[in-house]
Structure 1
Amino acid sequence: MDFRPRRRDEVDLDITPLIDVVFLLLIFFMVSTTFEQNYEINITLPSSSKEATEAKPDAVNVGLDSDGNVYINEKALVNAQIETIKGALSDALVGLNEPPVIISADANASHQSVVRVMDAARQLGLVKITFATQGSNDE
């Protein structure tokens, strides 16, 4: 009788092809991914003074309501897409020499709609962008 333990054949699992496939997928996703460039916007909000200042006649007034509708010089735009805003701003700029853009946003307007208007103005080369403020009722 042979009581010696028999030698068992161990199963080898070769994971080299699996690692190759994982690295190929990783390289594929790294190459095919598109990155969006984000801009950081530093905003110093103006403080309101007690006296009201009149809007300059050569200023472009942009209004934003709480529903996301955009108004340029009190004319409603058909949508709030950036191309529509740029087209309306460029139409309002005809005959004006570097006018300031005054953004009057509703308190409940989304930040994205304000940033969209600012981005459209920046793409048109406008650098004088101000925000209309409401005076306090502490008097």
Structure 2
Amino acid sequence: MIEFRKKKNDESILDIAPLVDMVFLLLIFFLLTNTYQKHQIDVSLPVTETGKETKVEKKTYLIEIKPDGTIILNGKEATLQELKKLPKTAEVDIAGDRKVSYETFMKVLDKLKEAGISNVNLLTIKK
């Protein structure tokens, strides 16, 4: 029978290089896939001279109105009736294309008023 000698110092050495590599790969993956875009639909906003930049600090709803009159609520197509279901305390940002008819724009504002929403922001591009 063969006898094997045991090491007197039986410490395990943990190689953390692969762990660090995986952490960096995950970090790069999440940074590349989690890009923040305010407007996901191609809407051409009107230009104003007196507009000011605002910082979003609370939950807001984004309504985008495309040139053909399609209404997009937080990235999903919606109807005018669905706008009435928003909570009264909601803050709503409206990004209407510059080619949207005045009638369509007023219908959206009217439905928000029916829902009791008074905090409405109109998004523009500052000149």
Q: 8 Å contact 1:72–1:89 — kept in the other structure?
A: no
TM-score normalised according to structure 2 size: 0.54
Q: 2:111 aligns with which of 109, 115, 120?
A: 120
> Deviation per CA, 1:95-125, whole angstroms, max 9, x where unpaired?
xx60211110000011111101100000011
Q: Percent identity?
A: 17
Bigger radius of gyration among the two: 1
> Deviation per CA, 1:9-38, whole angstroms, max 9, x where unpaired?
xxxxxxxxxxxxxxxxxxxxxxxxxxxxxx
C-alpha spacing 1:63/1:46, structure 2 compared with 1 (3 Å): farther
Task: List 4+ stretches of structure 1 deviating above 6 A.
Answer: none
TM-score normalised according to structure 1 size: 0.50
Correspondence for 2:3: none
Residue 118 of structure 1 aligns to a residue whose secondary structure is helix
Runs of 5+ in structure 1 lacking a partner? Answer: 1-44, 78-83
With a CA cutoff of 8 Å and minimum separation of 6, indicate the structure with the bigger relative contact order: 2
Higher relative strand content? 2
Q: 1:48 aligns with which of 48, 51, 76?
A: 51
1:46 and 1:100 map into 2 onto residues whose CA distance is: 23
Q: CA RMSD in A?
A: 2.3
Tell whether 2:57 aligns with 1:62.
no
1:103 and 1:46 map into 2 onto residues whose CA distance is: 18
